[in-house]
Amino acid sequence: MKALIWDVDGTIADTERHGHRVAFNEAFRRAGLPVQWDEATYGELLAARAGGKERMRYDFARRGIALSDEDIAAIHREKTRIFQEILRAGRIRAREGVVALMREAKEAGLVQAIATTMQPEALATLLAAILPEDVRGTFAVRIAGDMVRRKKPAPDVYTEALRRLGISPEEALALEDSEAGLAAARAAGLACVIVASDYTKNGRFDGAALAVDGWVAPQVLADPLGIGHPARVDLALLLEVHRRWWS
């Protein structure tokens, strides 16, 4: 294995419930829209659509709210600005165990990359806000937001990351938290480890090489390779998962 390719939302940090959702609601309020996404509604939208603008179109359509693509894009830009303010205020943190794994991979000489639907400007702010300086610049490639034509569950972010890294799917491992992310990684030919978040832990993870509910002291959700019950998701575990998947 030569590379780890990281998803961001829900995987590196629990950004959804108290980050993106809050930012969307404030953007809707500022735009004068009669919409507020509670936690249950937002969880439903996460499962239904990947990408913020896509969730807005889906939800507005079923509410009978007609907005142009330009209006949706403008609201989403305001949402991104609000989300960045939340990040700068220190209200979002990396999930426990993430930074330790990034350091392990860096010290072992593995390449690390990001493949996310988050917008590039928000991604830059998040990495600066939640990661220490020694791992912040670790990522050789960052594929984000609208840099590709189709968002997850399409494989575009992963195929583009692999292309830029100059490696084959067999040489990398995807780290995800959701069904859509798993589908994207598998469609790109990658083995995928799921570290589910609160919003995604009840998902179906058929096709994952391993699925757990946390980076430290996790509960196992799916274990087709017979890995067992790890104390934490560390580099040794990921190397063994990758080896078994491709053996």
Residues labelled as active-site residues = 7, 9
Compute the C-alpha angle 212/217/219, nearest 5°.
35
186, 160 in Cβ contact below 8 A? no
Burial class of 76 by CB neighbour count within 10 A (0 to 12, 13 to 18, 19+): buried
14, 39 in Cβ contact below 8 A? no
> What does each C-alpha distance from 9 to 6, 54, 118, 225 come to in angstroms?
10, 16, 8, 26
- Which single residue is written with the structure tokens 């390449």? 111
Return d(Cα 204, Cα 15) in angstroms, integer.
21
Q: Encoding tokens for residue 96?
A: 């426990």
